[in-house]
Amino acid sequence: MVQKALEEIKRGVAEIIDEERVVKLLKNYYENGENYYIKAGFDPTAPDLHLGHTVLIQKMALMQKYGARVQFVIGDFTGMIGDPTGKNETRKKLDRETVLENAKTYKQQVFKILDPDKTDIVFNSKWFTQMGSIGLVELTTTFNVARMLEREDFEKRFKSNTPISISEFLYPLLQGYDSVALKSDIELGGTDQKFNLLMGRHLQRAYNVGKEQAVITMPLLEGLDGVNKMSKSLGNYIGITESPDDMFGKIMSISDDLMWKYYEVLSNKDLEEIGELKRGVKDGLLHPKKAKEMLALEIVARYHDSNKAQNAKVEFDKVHAKKELPSDMDEFTLEAPIWIAKALNIIGLENSTSQARRDIKQGAVKIDGKKCQDEQLQLQKGEYILQVGKRKFAKVRVE
C-alpha cells in the first residue's frame, strides 16, 4: 500500500527531500490512521489560478487520498513584500478587502480539484501580525547573510551588483516560519522555491517544532510559448476559469514536444498509457493532433464537464479545420456609413485605425469570408461578419 502510494506521489515530481519522512508518514497513516499536514503557499495578488498552479494542487489532491490534510496558505502578509524569485517589482500593498475577495475566488477555483473536507485555508497574517518586532528580529537571528546569499538568484544579483532589498531577505524567513506556525509535515512548491522550502526545515529545527518537514518540488510548467514558465504577467497561461473554447484552443496551440510534458504533470492517465500514446505518435500510428485533442478534452472536462469539452472540440474543428465561422460571435451595431478601419477599431478587433489599415494591406481582414482589399472601404447598411486573422471574429450590423 505504502509503496503504491509513494509511487503515485512521486510521479512527475522534480525532487523529494527527506523521502524517508514521507514514507514514515504514509506508514503511520495506513497503520494508525493518523493524518499529516501538507502545506503550499499562494500569493493573494493574482487570484486567477492557471494550469501551472494546478500541477501543485493536483499533487496535493492526490495526497489527500493518502491521508494528507492540506494547509492552503494564502500569503496575505508575505504578499506585501513580494517574493524576490524572478522579477523584482515593488508590490502594491493590498488592502484587507481585496485579499478576502481574492481568497474567495481561490476557494471557488481550488475546490474544483481539492477535497474541501480535507483542506484548511489559512492566512499567514494571522501569526505575523501577532509576532511583533521583537519576534521578527528573533526570526532573523536564525539565519545569516552568507547562507542567504547562497540562494541562486540572490547570488547572481549580488555578483552583478543588482540591488537586493533587505526586505527580500525576509521573504524566505517568513515563508519558512509559516511551517513553524502550522507544524507542517510536508511542503510543496515549484523547483524555483527550493531554497524557501528548505528554510521551513531550518526554522522548524531552530524553533524546536519537533519535526522537520519533507519537501516536494514540482517542475515548473512551461507556458504556451514553450519557453518561459507559465505566468500571468507573461500572458502565456491557461486559466482554469477560462471558457471551454478558449481552454481547448490554447491547449491545442502548444507544441508537440510540450504536449508530453503537459501529459505527465496534468493528465490523470497513468504513465504506461501515456507511454503508449507517445510510441503511437512516434511510429506514425497516432496523429499528434489526436493525442493533443485527448489531452485538451481531459483538461477541459476537469474544469467544466465532458459535454462542454466535446462541444469545444466540435467548435474548434469547425473554425480551424473546416474554416467555418464560430457559432458564437460578439455582435455590434454601428451607424452607416462607417469606415472599415474605424469599425474594426470600435468593436475592439483592432487597437487603432492605423493598425487596422496595416492589417488590411496585409490581407488579414476579411468581410463575410472575402479578403478586404480596399482600406478606404465604407461599410453601408447591412450585416457583415468581420474577421481579423484566424481567431478574431465579430458580427456587425450597420444601420
Applying CB under 7 A, the residues found at the interface with RNA are 161-163, 225-226, 249, 252-257, 287-289, 292-293, 296, 316, 320-321, 337-339, 341-342, 345, 351-355, 357-359, 362-364, 376, 378, 388-392
Smaller CB separation from RNA, 303 or 316: 316
Query: Nearest approach, Cβ of 113 to RNA (angstroms)?
Result: 24
CB of 248 to RNA, least distance (A): 7
**Residues 14/64, Cβ–Cβ less than 8 Å:** no
Cβ 269 to RNA shortest distance, Å: 18
* CB of 98 or CB of 355, closer to RNA: 355
For RNA, the closer of residues 20 and 399 by Cβ is: 399
Residue with smaller CB distance to RNA, 279 or 289: 289
Sign of CA dihedral 21, 26, 31, 32: positive
The nearer residue to RNA, 10 or 371, going by C-beta atoms, is 371
Shortest gap between Cβ of 224 and RNA (angstroms)?
A: 8
Looking at beta carbons only, is 205 or 342 nearer to RNA? Answer: 342
- Minimum Å gap between C-beta 270 and RNA is 23
The burial class, CB within 10 Å (0-12 / 13-18 / 19+), for 386 is buried
- Residue with Cβ nearer RNA (243 or 345): 345
Rounded least distance, CB 293 to RNA, Å: 6
C-alpha closest to that of 57 among 263, 279, 240: 240
SS (H, E, C) 188-214: EEEHHHHHHHHHHHHHHHHCCCCCCCE
Q: How far is the CB of 253 from RNA (least distance, A)?
A: 5
